Each structure stands twice: as C-alpha cells, then as structure tokens.
Structure 1
C-alpha cells in the first residue's frame, strides 16, 4: 500500500511541508516516486520517518541526520559509524534529561517556597526560616536574601 505525502504526514502527526522539507534536504532517499514524480510512501517508510523524527526531536541537526541516513543507505560497512553517532546523541539526550531534572527540582523548590509564603501570608517568613526547617531536598536552593 502506498501513501501520499498528506496521508503519511497525518500518520506521523507532522505537517506535509515537513516531509517535503526532509525530501528536499536528502533525508528520504528510500521513498519511491511515481512516473510523474509524486512521492509514494510505503509502510516500511514509516520506520525511517520515525527515526528521523526521533533524531530531530533529540536536537540532532538535519545535516547529521542526513549523514546517518546516507550511512544506512551505504550498508553494513557503516554500522560502526552509525553506532558511534547514536551513542553520541544518546549522551546528549542524557545530559539534557539531567539538566531538565535540575530545572524540575528548582521548580519544586519554588513551589514549596511560595506555598510556604502563602500559608504564612508573606515571603518574609522564609527569610528568617531556620535552615533545618527547609526540607533537605531544597536546602541547596534556599538563599533567603536572594528570593
């Protein structure tokens, strides 16, 4: 079964222009075309598009995604390069997750801070709070004069 750009875009939850852009950038060498040049997506193309979306959503550049796709098209001799690229991107994602965890912890602290201030009726209460009265998980964030 073949899908049009619009049908595949709907299946991928992206705009048709996204798939056209990917094609223009050389990311879709696996997509067949009709005699009149219309893109004809197959079910197996869905897997390719999913990895492209995954790599893009992890912050990989279109240039590097193209390199990855080109290596895939070259065959098994490029497995080591593909593995290295995926490992490097995994490290980037893990670093980003850690940064987001740190941001989340700061937001939790600020939530605690303002819930405590609201209950006291003033932020001033937090400027005089004893360090041991600050939940341990938030002590690294609590700087009473900087709030």
Structure 2
C-alpha cells in the first residue's frame, strides 16, 4: 500500500502517438491536507476513492489506499468536494518495462502536461524518453491536490 513514483514535466506531445490507452478523468478532493489527502474520481464513468498519506522527504513514496466505488456515489461525493476540481486526459504510455501515465490538464490547469512513472523502489532505473522533461517529483505544487487550490493558470513565470 505504498506508492513509489517519480513525476516529470513533458516537453512535447510525441507521447500521444505511443499511448496504449487514454482515459478522461474528473476529480475532486474531500481533503487536501498533505498528511491525508482524500480524492474522488470519475475515470471514464467509473468511480474511484483514494486516500493518500504524507509524502516522503524526497516526494517519491507515500501510503496509498484506493477502491472502486459506484459511479453515482462518486458523482455525489464530487458534488461535496472542496472547490477546484481537476479535469484531465490520462495517456498510458508503455516504454520498455514501465508505463508512464501522462496527464494533459484542462480548465484552470490548461497547458500543464505531467508524466508519472510508478516504480517498485525510489532508486529503480527506468527509461527516459525524449519527450520527458524536468523532474518535479519533490515539488508539491505539481500535486493534483495543490493544483486544485493553486491552478497552473495562476502561476507567475
């Protein structure tokens, strides 16, 4: 129940041609407390409830509990979430032995593209395709819970 992932900005849309799957995601947060984030999602019409614990100091790992829930329950929970929902398309892109999840954000986070790769351990080697940019794993402003409160469109250069 510990998630290990690294997060990167994406510098080109070349990943789209390599995607094995694309999902539409709408999500909201019942809690954005860094020690206990509670997220509700509709993923292509399926409901998902996720609870995440605090991140490690380097941002690579944290407790994660996730369960599928009925879509109507997820819709109800989304209606009572904190302000600032997230909408995005998620591209699942296999690269050698790993799969990158590349999120293309819409709405207030339009223009932001972030890739995540889940690993078995923080120091695991993995391929870095040409479209992968700067690593932002330890930068909390790229967490979806923070993007819901401080969207990309409000950032100053």
- The TM-score with structure 2 as length reference comes to 0.20
Q: TM-score, normalised by structure 1?
A: 0.21
Bigger share in helix: 1
Larger Rg, first or second structure (1 or 2): 1
